[in-house]
């Protein structure tokens, strides 16, 4: 067996060219009794052997140069191989020339055929015909004996993705005083913004909803009473209201720093606060690949809350913040950094004497704390006048490392406020400024390690938002068909009234509200709970009278490959490159555009399976 541009499968033993030539000439004399068909068969067989055994190196250089300039001729090829190459190039002139040169006057009645193509013949076959054949792989008509394959890698990309800035449940003091102002400073790292939608869910007293005001970068988004999709009496407390709506704020959001303010004013009963589902969803364009790492440090900033007292109306501030730990991760650090101003210290007796509202009956004797912190349903601190409350200011860090668990965790902080019971004096400020004073703000920070997953390497991450689109109910099921590879995902529940939420993914419980008012605006869904590709079922249940709205959203992070491997074999390098580019574009999809591509092309030959197989034959007749 020989292998250069194609694989030649030998039929007869190798004979010296001189001996073969003599045999062809003297065959009738040597074997006078041989039948015509036998004679023709021996000649045809030996002729095909001649083509297989003579190498092009046996011809002088001037002759080689005469064959198409010698550009497609290799001295190491057998004549049979060289004829095959000429055939693939449709170079019948050189193929005919080479055939006549080899056989010269040795053969008189013969034809050389490759596939169904007659290369050269001395005439039409007649009489007793015999055929000598060789099977050649790696060549085919019209295709180069050397092919090209290519792969492509996107080194730099532009992508359309989403980012969500959550306003987790948070609130002010009893009866609200003048009210409360929530301020979020955020940074939008984008090359351009395609769309921005603000979702807001509030619980407020019996004031006119037009007293509520939302601004983006100092611009009122212009909500009036008719713009709220829902504005109803609370089914759990008829003395208060619940409301929800969403607004297009695309024209108000800019790349870089932005400020969003929510003013809840003139509360006549209860206390003003945000319900789950309040969020700013931004669809934007940016660049960059997914960064694979084994250590993650996450810092989530609280929003700045200013609660103002007026007359008998009290102040206070409370807020929640999630901590999300993937399955299989190890938490190495977790902390709460709490910064607050205008926070008074009160004795337990003072707290008890200032209690009012339905919630006071739930506070047991000896538990009248005006400063409370919880991780899930376990206390971080329960204090009245701690040493870290200095001159009505707080700047304290609490270690949560040993208490944070895998999955969803919720931190809850109450400053001079607890439910609808206790409230403080003057103003109460939970301080945060994520863009202007990052280190001096209130935040939770956590670090965890985990081994990178195989599917993370060589990927581009894109966040896709999809609303539930379901009817308002306390028991909602939504099925998503995931065609891509989902990494992490979040459910943002848009709610009116809410109590204890149970959220499951594909039948596995992912989240349960750990304590009152502690359902965050984003519930983490680990990729270990999702089926990709495949159908995924999200089930959410809440109390009787509670409502989960169709404006709830599922945000999932998909990982898009940034490369395609070697593809089919093509005759030219350009065809192989074009194929790789087309395949890469298809893999990237509509959300990703390759800005810089690294392509690699390999020329391949001598591969039996490249093309073919093809039959080369010599026909002789007597």
Q: Which of 368, 346, 338, 366 is nearest to 356 (CA)?
A: 368
Mean pLDDT of 394-413: 97
d(CA 517, CA 209) in angstroms, rounded, equals: 22
CB atoms within 10 A of CB 59: 19
Helix (H, G, I), strand (E, B) or coil at 24: helix
Q: Name which of 176-185, 444-453, 480-489, 535-544 the model is least confident about.
A: 176-185
Q: Output the six-digit token pair for 533.
A: 């590709």
User: 203-215, pLDDT tens digit by residue?
Assistant: 887 667 877 899 9
Q: How far is CA 303 from CA 168, 260, 340, 411, 606, in A?
A: 9, 10, 12, 14, 67
Phi, psi of 119 (to 5 degrees): -85, -50
Residue 614 CA: distances (Å) to CA of 30, 54, 195, 568: 34, 20, 59, 20
Query: Could you say which DSSP state residue 95 is in?
Result: H
The CA distance from 253 to 189, in Å, is 12
Instruction: Let me know how many helices (H) and strands (E) the chain has, helices first.
Output: 7, 40
7 bridge partner residues: 3, 137
Closest Cα to residue 430, out of 307, 279, 521, 308?
Answer: 307
**Which pLDDT does position 359 carry in this prediction?**
59
Residue 51 structure tokens: 């083509």
CA gap 479, 425 in Å, rounded: 48
Q: Does residue 50 carry a pLDDT above 60?
A: yes
Rounded CA gap, 76 and 98, in Å?
15
Q: pTM for the whole thing? A: 0.78
pLDDT at residue 604 greater than cutoff 70: yes
Q: How far is the C-alpha of 85 from the C-alpha of 98, rounded, in Å?
A: 12
Q: Kindly state the average pLDDT of the residues 403-432.
A: 87
| Residue bearing the bigger pLDDT, 272 or 533 | 533
Q: How far apart are CA 314 and CA 420, in angstroms?
A: 11
* Phi, psi angles (nearest 5°) of residue 92: -70, -30
DSSP 398-449: EE-GGG--SEEEEEEEEESEETTTEEBSS-EEE---TTT-STTS-EEEEEEE
Distances in Å between the Cα of 288 and the Cα atoms of 156, 461, 467, 580 are 6, 9, 26, 21
Tokens of 500: 């204890």
Largest CA distance in the chain: 134
* Residue 67 Cα distances to 73, 521, 527, angstroms: 7, 77, 63
Residue 218 CA, distance from chain mean position: 35
Q: What is the DSSP string of 41-92?
A: HHHHHHHHHHHHH-BGGGS-HHHHHHTGGGTT--TTSBHHHHHHHHHHTT-H
Q: Which of 236-240, 318-322, 422-426 has the lowest mean pLDDT?
A: 422-426
How far apart (Å, rounded) are the C-alpha atoms in residues 400 and 413?
14
Token pair 């005001």 is at which residue?
213
Higher per-residue pLDDT: 246 or 174: 246
Tokens representing 24 are 């062809």
Predicted confidence (pLDDT) per residue in 447-475, tens digit: 999 998 887 888 889 999 999 999 999 99
Query: Half-sphere exposure of residue 245, counting CA atoms within 13 Å on the CB side?
Result: 20
Q: Is 366 helix (H, G, I), strand (E, B) or coil?
A: coil
What is the number of other CB atoms lying within 10 angstroms of the CB of residue 321?
23
Residues 429, 316 contacting (CB under 8 angstroms)? no
> How much is the pLDDT for 173?
60
Instruction: Tell me how far apart the alpha carbons of residues 557 and 290 are, in angstroms, rounded to a whole number.
Output: 11
Share of the chain above pLDDT 70, in %: 87
- Per-residue pLDDT tens over the stretch 492-524: 999 999 999 999 999 999 999 999 889 999 999
Q: What is the mean pLDDT of residues 329-354?
A: 91
| Higher per-residue confidence, 622 vs 390 | 390
Sequential DSSP letters for 272-285: -EEPTT-EEEEEEE
**Stretch among 255-259, 336-340, 485-489 having the lowest mean pLDDT:** 485-489
Distance CA 305, CA 326 (A): 30
pLDDT at site 69 = 54
In which band, very low, low, confident or very high, does the pLDDT at 85 lie, cut at 50, 70 and 90? confident
Report the chain's mean pLDDT, rounded to a whole number.
86
So where are the chain's domains?
A: 2-146+610-621, 157-557
Cα within 13 Å of Cα(564), Cβ side: 25
Q: What is the mean pLDDT of residues 229-246?
A: 89
- Residue 613 has a pLDDT of 78
CA gap 356, 418 in Å, rounded? 11
Most confident of 40-49, 351-360, 536-545: 536-545
pLDDT of res. 13: 30
Those residues whose C-beta lies under 8 Å from the C-beta of residue 290, and which sit 6 or more positions away, are 456, 459, 460, 461, 559
Residue 189 structure tokens = 């790292």
Residues in the chain: 622
Cα–Cα distance between 472 and 494 in angstroms, integer?
10
Contact 449, 333 (CB under 8 A): no
Residue pair 170/182 in contact by the 8 Å Cβ criterion? yes
Over residues 539-567, the pLDDT tens digits come to 999 999 999 999 999 999 999 999 999 99
Beta carbons of 204 and 212 less than 8 angstroms apart: yes
């Amino acid at each position: 067996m020989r292998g250069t541009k194609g694989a030649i499968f030998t039929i007869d033993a190798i004979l010296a060219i001189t001996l073969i030539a003599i045999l062809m000439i003297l065959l009738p004399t040597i074997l006078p009794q041989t039948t015509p068909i036998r004679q023709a068969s021996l000649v045809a067989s030996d002729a095909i052997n001649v083509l297989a055994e003579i190498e092009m190196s046996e011809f002088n250089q001037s002759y080689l140069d005469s064959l198409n300039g010698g550009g497609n001729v290799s001295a190491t090829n057998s004549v049979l191989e060289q004829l095959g190459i000429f055939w693939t190039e449709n170079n019948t002139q050189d193929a005919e020339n080479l055939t006549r040169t080899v056989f010269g006057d040795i053969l008189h009645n013969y034809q050389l055929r490759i596939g169904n193509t007659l290369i050269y013949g001395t005439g039409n076959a007649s009489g007793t015909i015999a055929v000598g054949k060789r099977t050649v792989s790696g060549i085919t008509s019209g295709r180069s004996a050397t092919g090209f394959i290519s792969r492509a890698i996107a080194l730099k990309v532009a992508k359309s993705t989403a980012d969500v800035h959550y306003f987790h449940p948070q609130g002010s003091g009893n009866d609200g005083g003048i009210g409360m102002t929530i301020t979020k400073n955020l940074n939008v790292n984008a090359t351009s913004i395609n769309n921005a939608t603000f979702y807001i869910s509030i619980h407020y007293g019996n004031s006119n909803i037009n007293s509520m005001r939302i601004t983006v970068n100092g611009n009122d988004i212009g909500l009036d009473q008719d713009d709220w999709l829902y504005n109803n009496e609370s089914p759990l407390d008829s003395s208060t209201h619940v409301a929800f709506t969403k607004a297009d704020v695309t024209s108000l959001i800019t790349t870089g720093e932005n400020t969003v303010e929510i003013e809840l004013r003139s509360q006549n009963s209860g206390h003003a606060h945000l319900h789950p589902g309040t969020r700013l969803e931004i669809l934007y364009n940016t660049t960059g690949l997914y960064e694979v790492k084994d250590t993650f440090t996450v810092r989530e900033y609280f929003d700045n809350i200013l609660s103002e007292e007026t007359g008998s109306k009290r102040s206070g501030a409370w807020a929640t913040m999630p901590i999300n730990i993937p399955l299989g991760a190890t938490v190495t650090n977790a902390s709460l950094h709490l910064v607050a101003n205008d926070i008074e210290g009160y004795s337990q007796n003072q707290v008890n004497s200032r209690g009012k509202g339905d919630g006071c009956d739930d506070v047991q004797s000896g538990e009248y704390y005006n400063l409370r912190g919880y991780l899930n349903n376990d206390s971080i601190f329960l204090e009245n006048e701690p040493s870290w409350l200095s001159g009505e200011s707080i700047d304290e860090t609490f270690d949560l490392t040993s208490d944070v668990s895998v999955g969803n965790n919720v931190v809850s902080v109450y400053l001079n406020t607890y439910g609808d019971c206790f409230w403080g004096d003057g103003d109460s400020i939970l301080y945060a400024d994520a863009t202007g004073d990052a280190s001096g703000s209130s935040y939770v920070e956590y670090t965890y390690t985990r081994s990178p997953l195989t599917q993370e390497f060589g990927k581009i991450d894109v966040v896709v938002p999809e609303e539930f689109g379901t009817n308002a109910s306390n028991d909602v099921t939504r099925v998503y068909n995931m065609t891509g590879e989902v990494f992490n995902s979040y459910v943002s529940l848009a709610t009116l009234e809410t109590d204890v939420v149970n959220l499951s993914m594909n039948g596995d419980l992912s989240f349960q509200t750990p304590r009152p008012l502690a359902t965050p605006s984003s519930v983490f869904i680990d990729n270990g709970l999702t089926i990709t590709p495949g159908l995924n079922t999200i089930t959410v249940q809440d109390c009787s009278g509670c409502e989960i709205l169709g404006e709830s959203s599922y945000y999932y992070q998909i990982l898009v490959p940034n490369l395609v491997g070697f593809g089919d074999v093509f005759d030219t390098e350009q065809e192989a490159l074009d194929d790789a580019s087309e395949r890469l574009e298809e893999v990237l999809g509509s959300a990703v555009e390759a800005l810089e591509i690294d392509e690699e092309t390999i020329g391949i030959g001598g591969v039996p399976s490249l093309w073919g197989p093809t039959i080369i034959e010599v026909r002789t007749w007597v």
